[in-house]
Amino acid sequence: MGLVESGKLPKPLTSLLNTARKYSLWAYQWGLACCAIEMGAAFASPRYDVMRLGVIPLPASPRQADVVVISGTVTDKMVPAIKRLYEQMADPKYVISMGSCTNCGGPYWDSYSVTKGVDQVVPVDVYIPGCPPRPEALLEGIVLLQQRIGREDMAERWRGDPLVVQ
């Protein structure tokens, strides 16, 4: 990837690479609560058929995944596992936060154990509101992420510095 690291990438090449990347998203499923049912409907059922968007929802490990869909109630006890999951993923990596609980705590906004938003832990690219969101909402979130990937300047994103989770 000498071209990318040089900081200058020809625009047609950027466009080509981005198109290739956005239509071969390997999505890791991080289902924590009831949103996982909707995620399962979107990812595993022929009715919604996420593979037509180029998403492969069954990577064998986070190391193969391009995007992780965190869906459900994130608890403080789960946070170390999510951090580790994110660190295990190879760059470029994206995070979709699905559902009110993951976005902000949702109905557990006053709980002693629920993390009020997974974005306190890992950077989130797309938030999907809803309690739970319908599968179509997740599909729209994926499309939004694909648009975002399509606009990305790869050289801008990879300056060789790894993303560090605080």
Partner 1 sequence: MADAGTDTAAGTAGDEAADAPEVDEARQGVLATLADALGDALLDSHIAPGHALWVRVDRDAWVATAEAAKFRLGCTFFDYLSAIDWMPSPWGRYEDAEVGVGPTPFDHDAAFETGVAGGDTRFQIMCRLANVRRHTEPHLNVVVKADLPDDDLRVASLVPLYAGANWHERECWEMFGITFDGHPGLRHLYLPGAFEGHPLRKDFPLLARLVKPWPGIVDVEPMPGEPESGDGAGAGDDATAGEEAPE
Between residues 79 and 137, which has the closer beta carbon with respect to partner 1?
Answer: 79
Task: Measure the CA–CA gap between 166 and 17, rounded to whole angstroms.
Answer: 30
- State in angstroms the smallest separation of the CB of 114 from partner 1: 10
Between residues 81 and 163, which has the closer beta carbon with respect to partner 1?
Answer: 81
Between residues 14 and 73, which has the closer beta carbon with respect to partner 1?
Answer: 73
Among candidate residues 81, 80, 77, 76, the one with its CA nearest the CA of residue 30: 81
- Start-to-end CA distance of the chain, whole Å, equals 27
Q: By the criterion CB under 8 A, which residues form the site for partner 1?
A: 76-77, 109-113, 116
What tokens does 111 get? 């709980």
Question: Can you tell me whether residue 73 is helix, strand or coil?
Answer: coil
Amino acid at 20: A
- State in angstroms the smallest separation of the CB of 102 from partner 1: 17
Between residues 104 and 139, which has the closer beta carbon with respect to partner 1?
Answer: 104
- State in angstroms the smallest separation of the CB of 131 from partner 1: 13
